[in-house]
Amino acid sequence: MISLFDFSDPRDAGAQRLRHVFGTPRQVLVAHALHEVRSVVEAAEAAARAGAWVLGWLCYEAAPAFDPALVVHAPQEGTALAWFAVHDAPGPWPQAPAQGAATIDWHGQPALAAFEQALAQIQQGIAAGAYYQVNFTAPLRGRFEGDAAALFAALQRAQPGGYAAHVDAGDGTQVLSVSPELFFDWQAGPDGQGEILARPMKGTAARGATPAQDAAQAVQLRASPKERAENVMIVDLLRNDLSRIAEPHSVRVPRLFHAEQLPTVWQMTSDVQARTRAGTRLVDVLAALFPCGSVTGAPKVQAMRAIHALEDGPRGVYCGALGLLRPAPQRGAGAMAATFNVPIRTIELHGAQARCGIGSGIVWGARSDAEWREWETKRAFVERASAPFEILETLALEGGAYRHMAEHLARMRVSAAHFGYPFEDAAVHGCLHALAEAHPGGPWRVRLLLDARGVPRAEAFALAATPQPVRLALAARPLAQAHSEWVRHKTTRRAHYAAFAPAAGSGVFDTILHNAAGEITETTFGNIAVLLDGRWITPPLACGLLPGVGRAVALRTGRVQEGLLRLQDVPRVQQWAFVNSLRGWLEAQLV
């Protein structure tokens, strides 16, 4: 029964992280019924003020314990509405990450038709004046196998930083949260006076395919009237909530519309601060703030009624609160610090059953296609962590020398940084050198792989010449993942490509892919170039494709230029070419 906490310092991004390990607790405080929640919270606070370290969570369904007007579903049978473990002191953070394996086979994904219907109902309610915003969510469900500590390590690689915690309740229930969102940080003196900071997160944009596009995405997020409106609605709600426990005129918003960079998304946050009044206790803070407005909508009471009507069941720890209470002796005897995240980007394990919620705030200007893409973008973190994968480069080895080795290693280094994999130049070069010495003659296809620990390995396969022209076929449907990180980076996770592979015996060399906008992107294992209107062009990275090394060489040498190629342009194409570093430039025919 080991729990891990790895929280940012909310008030100083450059400060040392709060990273601790907790073993078997000396006491566990549990509430299974609403009438028990407040007493559990009070006992947890009393323990922290007496010098203990207390970690735990509140489920979203605990909300009526603080305000009976808040409507929720009945909790799942056996679920603890509030769970806190009391420890005398924490232990040091482990020196090495977990080395086990973990996978989750997800099923029961949210259906687009149901999502569109719910969005339409929400907008009808907005039009009728019932509320301004509703945070609508749905669960992903899956089967978990392996080591939960390894899964937490993978989640942290997928979503580094933020407010991460792995809490083991010891009864088969484990909560693994890599939430980037701070609910509140309260530095409270023994009399309850102190400073409280809330940092609601509202407003999302996907990361860009190139540095320039990525920077533009952040600028557009901060400037978007829809995203700013979504954010300011929740800021106003939090200001009002905090005023219930704040000294007069102390509520302020020192930072508004800040774009935070996460691996798969840009998120907009704002800071809301206040000074708490004398006599304030943790139950008062929760009665004022819980659940966080960013996961309900505004006004909170009406938004939660809409959530109850639209969502099929309880949210559980997702959208509740997860955090740590600890003594703050610098503020005097009996002082306490309380830091809670909003448990988004969070997986609950109940034995072999896994659950993860995905959602977004719906406002009047929301469009179903854009909101659905936001859900897909937010889901990327859990997909990345759900099964092991390696970063992959495919190089040509001929006469003991690698073709374009520097370019391949530069691309692998970028991917390693993106996925949080260690990359040691000496180890990778040593691995390739040993393979080249073992294969001094002839052409070889070399697969260079880098695992999550940063360990490289390489393998060689005989490379036969490719007869030209190669035959290419156009995909019958769009590649849904065209703008995902699994396309922008080359890894062993290639099921999305395998689904488009030509049938054996068809005589087709590869399949030409296109995105949902009807723009041609690449093939399943190479890039595309076409002669159109008298010039050779290759699709730009913004269309959703791998930045191939062969493609980069052709661009650098002036053989091709970037240019948009749409499906309707295909009849006008004068010549086709398949391009990658391994096989070079191959003449191609469309069949």
User: Which amino acid makes up residue 350?
Assistant: H
Phi and psi (nearest 5°) for 332?
110, 165
Phi and psi (nearest 5°) for 409?
-70, -35
Residue 374 is among the residues annotated as catalytic for this protein: no
* CA atoms 278, 281, 286, 292: torsion sign: positive
Report helix, strand or coil for 212. Answer: helix
Q: List the one residue out of 166, 232, 178 whose CA is nearest residue 5.
A: 166
Q: For residue 531, count CB atoms less than 10 angstroms from its CB and return exposed for 0-12, middle for 13-18, buried for 19 or more.
A: middle
The alpha carbon of 66 is separated from its chain's Cα centroid by a whole number of angstroms, namely 30
Residue 181 is among the residues annotated as catalytic for this protein: yes
Report helix, strand or coil for 184. Answer: strand
Q: Which of 45, 61, 181, 371 is catalytic?
A: 181
Q: List the one residue out of 138, 9, 176, 153 whose CA is nearest residue 93.
A: 153
- Give the whole-angstrom CA distance, residue 353 versus residue 430: 42
- Give the whole-angstrom CA distance, residue 119 versus residue 362: 7
- The first and second tokens of residue 37, run together, are 């929640």
Give the position of tokens 């995905």: 358
- Give the whole-angstrom CA distance, residue 67 versus residue 28: 25
Paired strand residues for 321? 58
H or E, element range at 573: none
C-alpha dist (Å) from residue 230 to 152, 164, 202, 364, 545? 31, 25, 6, 9, 31
- Give the whole-angstrom CA distance, residue 551 versus residue 560: 8
- Give the whole-angstrom CA distance, residue 384 versus residue 330: 41
Q: For residue 528, count CB atoms less than 10 angstroms from its CB and return exposed for 0-12, middle for 13-18, buried for 19 or more.
A: buried
C-alpha dist (Å) from residue 283 to 7, 141, 265, 323, 325? 22, 32, 34, 14, 13
- The first and second tokens of residue 590, run together, are 């469309």
- Give the whole-angstrom CA distance, residue 293 versus residue 133: 10
Q: Which of 45, 77, 195, 202 is catalytic?
A: 202
> Given the DSSP bridges, would you call strands 510-514 and 336-341 parallel, antiparallel or unpaired?
unpaired
- 222, 257 contact by CB (below 8 A): yes
- 512, 565 contact by CB (below 8 A): no
3-state helix, strand, coil in the chain (%, to 5): 30, 35, 35
Report helix, strand or coil for 281. Answer: coil
- Give the whole-angstrom CA distance, residue 512 versus residue 524: 7
Give the residue numbers marked as catalytic. Answer: 181, 202
